[in-house]
Amino acid sequence: MKPGDMHPETLLAQAGGAVDMASGGVVPPIQPSTTFLRGPDYQPVNPANTYARDHNDAVRQAEAVLTRLERGHDALVFPSGMAAIAALFRAVPGGARVIVQSGIYWGTTKWIREFCARRQVVMSEVDASDAGALDAACAQGPAALIWVETPSNPWLKIVDIARATKAAQSCGALLAVDSTAASPILSNPLNLGADVVMHSTTKVINGHSDVLGGVLVTRAPGEMWDAIVNDRAGAGAVMGPFEAWLLLRGMRTLDVRVRRMCDNALKTARFLEDHPRVEAVWYPGLESHPQHVLAREQMPGGQGFLMSFLLRGTREEALQVAGKMQVFHRATSLGGVESLVEHRHTIEPHTGIPENLLRLSVGIENSADLIADLGQALGQ
């Protein structure tokens, strides 16, 4: 069977591909060499490899898996999610306009704002989960790039990617989607017409909270993509071979992890929704989510592992609930096998995030243990 004919589960289980014929190992080897031999004719011994800033087998293997998972044309991995985002925005010409979704991952907003100010790029911030508002932003004039994040973190809003594609076409922009909180298992934005999909592979794709990384996958070749490829090789924001190998190793279980996490998340969300101390639960898998129908269409395999809930009470009471948790770890980040709880207002008090909000990233533990932990922390 050709790799292109395999289902994602099979592709992932064997991520990195073939056995290592030199040793007979069934996992890919790590080649840490920064430089590669040339023969007496001065031609590279292996034409694919001359120097590690441009060429590394483990990096290429990870990129091949991610390209096929997202059904794209090509992928580039970076040493962090933010490095991937920065590489994309550096390809926007000075003086151009970008349209950026409001209320997304704070690190992204902060970096893009500073970058645009420095580079005379005009930045329009808009709630892109409201299709009318996005259309209106596009009607203001041409743009080079539209950046959306779905589901958004920590507000859990859903952007209609097919609609956003049309909006992007109307103003001549490329559409880029941060799909970190969905994963390639639940959503494939390129299939819906997006031009570029980005993931922080630090999160669920690696899934073990032990390696930073990011990826851009493009739907088609093009000038902007060439500029990004050239910039990565030249500026050197490359992932090292050990990290790429860990990423491949993490990806082997991606499908089963995401399915268990979605299952646990839905049970957790239902428990919270019924709890008298909980004012609201924001989880796209709940019928009460205002965009539940869209979320199910766009993420048919499950609506993710990330949720926020509002406690009936004060900031101090929300912190007390988080403080009592024993199974959920109190830490930032998301998408790992271990469940995490976070009081976002402590981290980003200036973004309008409610003081009584707790964000959960649900892991692969037994759901009864997660629910019991929440129950004891909330007081049954």
Ligand X SMILES: *Cc1c(COP(=O)(O)O)cnc(C)c1O
Instruction: Give the binding site for ligand X (CB under 6 A).
Output: 80-82, 105, 107-108, 149, 153, 178, 180-181, 200, 202-203, 212, 214, 334
Angle (deg, nearest 10), helices 223-235 and 81-90 = 120
With beta carbons less than 8 A apart as the criterion, state whether 198 and 80 touch.
no
- Assess whether 53 carries a catalytic annotation: yes
Q: Retrieve residue 287's tokens.
A: 């019928």
105 annotated active-site = yes
| Tokens coding 47 | 């034409």
What minimum distance in Å lies between the beta carbon of 11 and ligand X?
Answer: 23
- Least separation in angstroms between CB 304 and ligand X: 11
Report the residue closest to ligand X, judged by CB. 81
**Residue of 57, 160, 178, 195 marked catalytic:** 178
Q: Are 171 and 138 in contact (CB under 8 A)?
A: yes
- Rounded to 5, what percent of the chain is helix, strand, coil? 40, 15, 45
Q: From CA 178, how far away is CA 152, in angstroms rounded? A: 9
Contact 175, 292 (CB under 8 A): no
CB-wise, 189 or 214, nearer to ligand X?
Answer: 214
Taking the complex as a whole, the smallest distance from the CB of residue 268 to ligand X amounts, in Å, to 19
User: DSSP per residue over 267-309, as a string?
Assistant: HHHHHHHT-TTEEEEE-TTSTTSTTHHHHHHH-TT---SEEEE
Residue 136's SS3 state is helix
For the bound state, the minimum distance from the C-beta of residue 51 to ligand X, rounded and expressed in Å, comes to: 25
Q: Looking at the chain, which runs of residues are DSSP E strands?
A: 74-78, 97-101, 122-126, 145-149, 174-178, 196-200, 214-218, 278-282, 306-311, 329-330, 340-342, 357-361
Active site residue 178: yes
For this structure, is 42 an active site residue?
Answer: no
Cα 77 to Cα 99: distance, rounded to the nearest angstrom: 24
Point out the catalytic residue in the list 68, 97, 157, 203: 203
Smallest distance from the beta carbon of 357 to ligand X, in angstroms? 16
CB of 47 vs ligand X, minimal distance in Å? 32
Residue nearer to ligand X on the CB measure, 216 or 322? 216
The neighbour count for residue 366, using CB atoms within 10 Å, is 11
The smaller minimum CB distance to ligand X, of residues 107 and 313, is found at: 107
Count Cα atoms within 13 angstroms, Cβ side, for 173. Answer: 33
State the nearest-atom distance from the C-beta of 105 to ligand X, in Å: 4
**CB nearer ligand X, residue 180 or residue 308:** 180
User: What is the amino acid identity at position 245?
Assistant: W
Residue tagged active-site, from 105, 157, 260, 373:
105
Which of these is catalytic: 53, 60, 259, 277?
Answer: 53
Place of tokens 């082997």: 252
Which residues are annotated as catalytic?
53, 105, 178, 203
